[in-house]
Structure 1
Amino acid sequence: MAASGISTGNSIRTRLYDLLRRAREIKRSTAIDPPLQVSALVDDDEPLIAPPEGDKEGHNFAVESAAKAILYAILGSNRIEDPSFVTVWDLLDILQYCGDRNLCSPQLVLLLLEELLDSLSIDGCRTALGFLESRREVLFAARSQNKDLVILRLCNELLRRLSRAEDPVFCGRVYIFLFHSFPLGDKSSVNLRGNFHTENVTTFEDYLNTSAAVGGEMQIDVGDPGESVKEEAKAGETSFVPAGEEKASKEITPTMDVDELYPVFWSLQHSFSNPPRLFEEDKFKEFKRGLEATLAKFKEVPKVVQAGDSARKKGGQSQSDGNYDEFASAFNPKYLTSRDLFKLELSDLAFQRHILVQALILIDFLLTLTEKSKSKPYYQGAQKAMQYSFTLREQDTEWALGIKNSIANYLQDGPDGKSYYRMVDTVLSRDKNWVRWKMENCHSFTRDRVPADNFVESKDGAKRAVVGRKAPKPMRSALGMQFLANTDLEKGLSQLKHHERFKKPSPGNYEERIETIQNGPQEGLSEGEKRMAKDKERSVTWRKHRLACKDNLSSYDDKRLKGADASTGDNTAPTDPEDRDAVPQEEHPSVEDQRPDQQDQVTTDMAAE
């Protein structure tokens, strides 16, 4: 059986060498791209390598052993800069093709890449990462847990070898590859328990603590050269004034000497790396005092902006106060804590912003522990590890909001201060949403596909919603016909045919109607009824005027009408609701509005007109 396994491994190795020889004939380029067209290496009916028979695990192990032997042989005789190193990329493309078709282990290509990165220098790893970036979509087309574990281990091992200060761009490439390789809601990169990076310890020269005023006396510079005063630093007292309030005293705010500030300043890093230590009252008072002293010193010292790399090579030019050169955003994950460099670091604007952004992050963490924030539903449902028993007091909350506002105002000064703070504020706002998502147990961002049945049903419903509806029924006639219901049908029809209906009314007929309206009962009527009666009178008066102006205006004399015209001053058409719709039908008032003894006269007027 052992001999059979050896024979299988040798045959697979021979087959892989043969495929690599064919690959050199197909792919003439010696670069990583374009990828090898593996399907062109064999005919359609020819398998790439022998498929597993029976023992699949043994077959995968044989393929892995043969592939590693070929990889080690190539690495032993070729450098990554050599054109012949393209054989490694071809081998990885072939194994990726086989893994997608279950001819070998799917994660075998990642295992070989892990071996490759371990054997290369940092410069060689840059080239190998380029292969990963170019094949990312193919590598993760079929996801599996084994693949995810290998890629996490591979990238983490690579990051441990890199220096964030010397290779920040390369580190960024690795992180971007990880972000693109895993879904946004994947929990592999989420710190569910909210652990802090307590291993990040900042060491400084502790012997200077003896000269610092921590709970004792300290030397305070008040601005006059050669003069100094001694003040007792009372525990818990601060010189900070919240935003919106002014100090009653107009004295100069004292600031610490550089030697006194040195241990106080670097002690802030202990709180930045482990915020829960501030739950102790003494530690919190120490932090408040140190942050206030740091911000006051930043405002006092002259600002120095680092020049660009080219300017530093020419002599390290830098401008202070208001004369700034182009700002170079130098990234330093870990600053030096030497006492000799401290005074220079305090004046560096990039250094100041680095420290103050750390302070903003910590203050935002403290503000999530107020009584109001802890009463929110998402905090109540968070994991126990992220629910702290500590609650920030009201006076400490006011201090945190005030110092946060002061830091925000200070960050907006200097070159590109507005845009810089806007960027910082945007990042911190999104981080709050990220923290809330973690506290809500990382709900998935993706949604399930809509079932085909639901899609068809929705599509049919949308079609039914836009189908033309039936025409609405015609509206009832505005002219009331209720008078026909009180008479026989024949009598009603004969009234409609009566010759008096086709006779043109005279102005005298309208005069009688006006007198009837005026002589009607006025007592007991509401304001609305009186207004309706007045409008009806004006309507009938206007009709009478219209008839009179056509035939016998000269013989028609109505002093009352002239008086009405003079009082109203309006010769326009009436606003009677009965006459508002159409002018040609003004003489057709609603029969239902008339008294029974006037209905015959109304029908006669309508017929005549």
Structure 2
Amino acid sequence: MAASDTALVGATTAKLEELLQRARTIKQATSIDPPLQVSKLATNNESLLGPTVEASDSHMIAIEGAAKHVFYSILASALIDDPSFVSIWNLLDILQYCGDRDECSSSLVLLLIEELLDDRDLDGCKIVFNYLESRRETIIAHNSKNKDLVILRSCNELLRRLSRADDAVFCGRVYVFLFQSFPLGDKSSVNLRGTFHVENVTTFEDYLKTEDEDEDSMQVDSSLSVKDVKDARSTPKSEERDSKLTTVKPEGQKSTAMDINELYSYFWSMQGSFSNPPRLFEGDNFKQFQKNLEATLTKFKEVPKVIQTGDSDSKRGTKRKLDDDNNELASTFNPKYLTSRDLFKLELSDLAFQRHILVQALILIDFLFSLTEKAKKKPYYLNAQKAMQYSYTLRDEDAEWALGIKNSIANYLQDGPDGKFYYRMVDTVLSRDKNWVRWKMENCQPFTRDRVPTKDFLVAKSGASKGVNSRKISKPWSEDGTLGFLSSTDDEKGLRQLRQLKLAQRLDVPSAETYVSRVPFTEPGQEIDQEMVTSEEEKRQKEEHKTSNTWRALRIASRSRLSLFDRLEDGKPLERLFQPVTSIEAAGEDNAPTGPEGRDSVPQEQHQSVEEQRADQRSQVTADAAAE
């Protein structure tokens, strides 16, 4: 290193130490937040690291050496839990401020954070990652392209150290940070070739139990403990948590499901198809998968359910759960389940386990739907990469089976606590995943567009202003203009059109049923046809036609049937507004409370509209006031 560079390192080191001394008076707190207001350290917008010189490579290296010298000296004298460790956070804030103004390397702050993560244990990494999350917007605001590689390398290295079973929440935080740091259309995390995770092999026992061993096996009843179910759902390293268990046993059902010992091998063999779907194209694997999935769903419906009532509310809460000491609570989610035969009966009764398996089945079924003959005729599939095009075509009878089993799974997932909410979230995620698959098959076209140049914007604005100016009528309306041309109907077509204009029903407001009959895609199974439209314009026209008629029908029906609007559900046809009460109850879709004799015993006259009820209330209030 040249003498000038050595002098620059010394001067920059002294300058950084001086800035840290002044920072203690500006930021009194010893925590990560609030960030240091670095702008208060600079007077008259001058450079923080000394006089501005030409930013050469040697100059940047010298400043980086000075920053690391101060960084390591603080680490050697302070632990991460000490109040004096706030100097590290202040130093990183100062270097971030200088990097945005090209006084030092823009990626210097991330390089120091990367070394800090490598030097800490997992508890210390969580604290360092808290700093990263709180400064994310500031870090990626400027020169983000120079920082992408460091962010990706640091997060991937941290994920390698974490256990996806014991540190699932922390892994999720790292993934969320990556997703928020990179653009939406970035290809760095896209599986362009569509390869499957074939390394995810599920091993299970291949022997059959004897009858004596079956008698000694675990039984699922109302006396299940929290520890039993936790052992069935997680690895032995999972920590205990406080939750209540409720056992729901189906009543009045005959045992039609496969025996548990026989189902064991069929059930776990499905994991091979979930991790590598193309194996279904070989031999009789698809028929075997059909048998396995049907037997599994039948068994799920038969066994008693162990419901963890303490989880449904907590999963909708804040991002992370902390204890009294502000430490993150352990997560009970595990990416893989144990395959012991002794635990299989307990796992089958766990509602969370059932949902986990059925969601895997829904993902695979959606993959099968992409291989139908209609799906392969779509333009984006024909132009997709060769690796994403499969020679296998799903037969019509197999597609019909897949649609039926998908509907059965959807109905089953909506049962239980928060079932409708759970299935709605799953259906939303799978629908968005279809769009991502299509985007990937179209070779990941960019989402963003270049900004419109100022000149083009001004020209377009001027043209729009001229287009909306009032224009003079070229030929004013004369008093001689009459409607006599309507009577000059010599042909039969003209007479028929004139008679249609005189029809009395043209002046009547159409009924709600008229608009309901015009709403397309109300029959079961026709929603799929809507996805098979050939062009976006046709799809848009059908959606507008459906939305317009639905809104008109609801507006007219609100005048007389507003009290019946609670029957409507998203995705269900509007004919439910006009069905008799008895037919709704017979279908089991009316959730309104009924009396001991049922709603059929209530006279029709008692079903008043909202306007009639309000009128009765106003008349009653008037009568009470007159009596007083």
What TM-score comes out, normalization by structure 1 length?
0.65
Task: Give the superposition deviation at 1:333.
Answer: 1.7
- Partner of residue 352 from structure 2, selected from 350, 356, 360: 350
Task: Give the superposition deviation at 1:118.
Answer: 1.6
Contact 1:12 1:49 in 2 (8 A): yes
Contact 1:209 1:263 in 2 (8 A): no
Task: Give the superposition deviation at 1:378.
Answer: 0.3
Contact 1:305 1:348 in 2 (8 A): yes
d(CA) in 2 for partners of 1:384 and 1:354? 32
Distance 1:460 1:152, change over 3 A: same
Please say if 1:99 is aligned against 2:68.
Answer: no
Match of 1:199 in 2: 199
Please say if 1:190 is aligned against 2:190.
Answer: yes
Distance 1:53 1:409, change over 3 A: same
Task: Give the superposition deviation at 1:288.
Answer: 2.0
Match of 2:41 in 1: 41
TM alignment of 1:13-162, pairs within 5 A: 13-44=13-44, 46-50=46-50, 56-162=56-162
Could you say what secondary structure the match of 1:304 adopts?
A: strand
d(CA) in 1 for partners of 2:379 and 2:140? 37
Report Cα offsets for 1:453-510 as digits up to 9, x if no partner.
2221222223223333336655445399xxxxxxxxxxxxxxxxxxxxxxxxxxxxxx
TM alignment of 1:347-496, pairs within 5 A: 347-470=349-472, 473-478=475-480
Match of 2:243 in 1: none
**Equivalenced residues, count:** 430
Contact 1:208 1:263 in 2 (8 A): no
Match of 2:268 in 1: 266
Task: Give the superposition deviation at 1:350.
Answer: 0.9
- Give 2:426's aligned amino acid: V
Which moved further from structure 2: 271-280 or 116-125? Answer: 116-125
- Give 1:276's aligned amino acid: P
Task: Give the superposition deviation at 1:55.
Answer: 7.7
Could you say what secondary structure the match of 1:256 adopts?
A: coil
Report Cα offsets for 1:105-128 as digits up to 9, x if no partner.
111111111111122222222222
Distance 1:472 1:282, change over 3 A: closer
Task: Give the superposition deviation at 1:259.
Answer: 1.6
d(CA) in 2 for partners of 1:108 and 1:430? 37
Match of 2:343 in 1: 341
d(CA) in 1 for partners of 2:352 and 2:297? 14
User: Gaps spanning 5+ residues in structure 1: where?
Assistant: 212-250, 313-328, 481-525, 532-609
Task: Give the superposition deviation at 1:34.
Answer: 2.4
Match of 1:602 in 2: none
d(CA) in 2 for partners of 1:193 and 1:460? 48
Contact 1:353 1:411 in 2 (8 A): yes
Report Cα offsets for 1:294-352 as digits up to 9, x if no partner.
1121112111112327999xxxxxxxxxxxxxxxx963321122222110000111110
d(CA) in 1 for partners of 2:491 and 2:273? 79
d(CA) in 1 for partners of 2:478 and 2:106? 78
Distance 1:477 1:112, change over 3 A: closer
Distance 1:10 1:210, change over 3 A: farther
Task: Give the superposition deviation at 1:42.
Answer: 3.8
Please say if 1:174 is aligned against 2:183.
Answer: no
Higher relative contact order (Cα pairs below 8 Å, separated by 6+ residues): 2
d(CA) in 1 for partners of 2:481 and 2:404? 76
Distance 1:35 1:252, change over 3 A: closer
Distance 1:65 1:387, change over 3 A: same
Task: Give the superposition deviation at 1:4.
Answer: 4.4
Across the aligned residues of Structure 1 and Structure 2, the Cα RMSD in angstroms comes to 3.1
TM alignment of 1:194-593, pairs within 5 A: 194-208=194-208, 254-308=256-310, 331-470=333-472, 473-478=475-480
Larger Rg: 1
- Give 2:282's aligned amino acid: E
d(CA) in 1 for partners of 2:88 and 2:168? 27
Report Cα offsets for 1:206-246 as digits up to 9, x if no partner.
344999xxxxxxxxxxxxxxxxxxxxxxxxxxxxxxxxxxx
Distance 1:307 1:476, change over 3 A: closer
- Give 2:261's aligned amino acid: D
d(CA) in 2 for partners of 1:310 and 1:296? 25
Distance 1:114 1:477, change over 3 A: closer
Distance 1:9 1:253, change over 3 A: same
Match of 2:588 in 1: none
Match of 1:495 in 2: none
Segments of 4+ moved more than 6 angstroms: 309-312
Task: Give the superposition deviation at 1:174.
Answer: 2.1
Task: Give the superposition deviation at 1:51.
Answer: 6.2
Match of 2:317 in 1: none
Distance 1:209 1:71, change over 3 A: farther
Report Cα offsets for 1:561-604 as digits up to 9, x if no partner.
xxxxxxxxxxxxxxxxxxxxxxxxxxxxxxxxxxxxxxxxxxxx
- Give 1:388's aligned amino acid: Y
Could you say what secondary structure the match of 1:305 adopts?
A: strand
d(CA) in 1 for partners of 2:51 and 2:280? 62
- Give 1:29's aligned amino acid: A
Which moved further from structure 2: 381-390 or 124-133? Answer: 124-133
Contact 1:264 1:290 in 2 (8 A): yes
Which moved further from structure 2: 25-34 or 370-379? Answer: 25-34
Could you say what secondary structure the match of 1:255 adopts?
A: coil
Could you say what secondary structure the match of 2:264 adopts?
A: helix
Which moved further from structure 2: 117-126 or 294-303? Answer: 117-126
Distance 1:28 1:48, change over 3 A: same
d(CA) in 2 for partners of 1:445 and 1:310? 36
Could you say what secondary structure the match of 2:309 adopts?
A: coil
- Give 2:404's aligned amino acid: G
What TM-score comes out, normalization by structure 2 length?
0.63
Contact 2:312 2:417 in 1 (8 A): no
Task: Give the superposition deviation at 1:197.
Answer: 1.7
Task: Give the superposition deviation at 1:254.
Answer: 4.7
d(CA) in 1 for partners of 2:285 and 2:46? 73
Which moved further from structure 2: 341-350 or 26-35? Answer: 26-35
Contact 2:100 2:143 in 1 (8 A): no
Task: Give the superposition deviation at 1:164.
Answer: 3.4
Distance 1:347 1:253, change over 3 A: closer
Could you say what secondary structure the match of 2:188 adopts?
A: helix
% same residue: 68
Distance 1:39 1:412, change over 3 A: closer
Could you say what secondary structure the match of 1:332 adopts?
A: coil
Contact 2:166 2:334 in 1 (8 A): no
